[in-house]
Amino acid sequence: METTGQTSAEYLLLAGVMILILMISAVMIFNNQELNIAMSAARSGVNDGLIESSGAIYSKQAYDDYAKSKSNLLVPYSVEIVNISYSDIGTDANYDKKKIQFKVYAKASKDFSKTELVSIGDRINYNLRKSLAISFNTTSSTNKLYNPVFSPHYVFTTANVKWV
């Protein structure tokens, strides 16, 4: 009896199973890659927001607004990012994509009023969303506040910065 036919069939079965495993792995890796890019962009955007805020670098309009009611923000200060996380909050019915919400946890170097902390947090979140839009090349498909931001499979938003 010849056994060469049996060996070929076993190799074909093994090759078929390997191709199937590779295809499933590729899909999983691609989806995780998109979230990894998003997290990396979020960290970069948060750092950009901190540099602008901590250095008291503002546009003329923001400067004039802060000069009237938030003068503490006109002096350089320090903010430490404790954590950046995201959570899947389901499918967005408007866009038929998964909705991901980023949340930043931060600590300020001095006591700020609640409105000042909101202003700092808004600047951090704005830069986070802007960085996401640039990373996924979707700046033209969002508004001037970059809210929400889109990627091929996700819609990204931000929660208010949590001050600890």
Share of the chain above pLDDT 70, in %: 96
Show the domain range for 58: 41-163
Q: Give the residue carrying structure tokens 């947090």.
A: 121
In a domain, 3, yes or no: no
pLDDT for 9 beyond 90? no
pLDDT for 6 beyond 80? no
CA 119 distance to own-chain centroid:
19
**DSSP codes of every residue in 5-58:** HHHHHHHHHHHHHHHHHHHHHHHHHHHHHHHHHHHHHHHHHHHHHHHHHHTT--
Q: How confident is the model at residue 88 (pLDDT cuts 50, 70, 90)?
A: very high
The H or E element that residue 122 is part of is helix 114-135
pTM over 0.85: no
In a domain, 5, yes or no: no
In a domain, 119, yes or no: yes
Q: How many domains does the chain have?
A: 1
In a domain, 92, yes or no: yes
Sign, CA dihedral 126-130-132-133, equals positive
112 Ramachandran zone, left/alpha/beta (phi>0; psi -120 to 50): beta
In a domain, 64, yes or no: yes
In a domain, 67, yes or no: yes
For residues 122 and 136, is the Cβ–Cβ distance under 8 A?
Answer: no
In a domain, 49, yes or no: yes
Mean pLDDT of 114-133: 93
In a domain, 10, yes or no: no
pLDDT for 139 beyond 70? yes
